[in-house]
Amino acid sequence: MIEYEIIQQHAHELEARAEHERLAREAKEARRLRRRPVAARFQRRPVRQTEC
């Protein structure tokens, strides 16, 4: 396997892991939000927007 392919493979694995971690984090957050009543959700300060 040439070096370029190894780098591509590694990049793909990193990307897949990052995606998995993001999904896991979102699922955990969703479960946490579902547990609490709706009123409590509105009392919290608004979440900062990360994207422009």
pLDDT in tens, 9-29: 999 999 999 999 999 999 998
Whether 1 has a pLDDT exceeding 90, the answer reads no
Half-sphere exposure of 39 (CA within 13 A, CB side): 0
What is the pTM for the complete model shown? 0.48
Q: What is the spatial distance between Cα 35 and Cα 28, in angstroms, rounded to a whole number?
A: 11
Whose CA is closest to 25, among 14, 37, 17? 17
Average pLDDT over residues 26-37: 82
Rounded to 5 degrees, φ, ψ at 51 are -95, 150
Q: In this predicted structure, what is the pLDDT of residue 18? A: 96
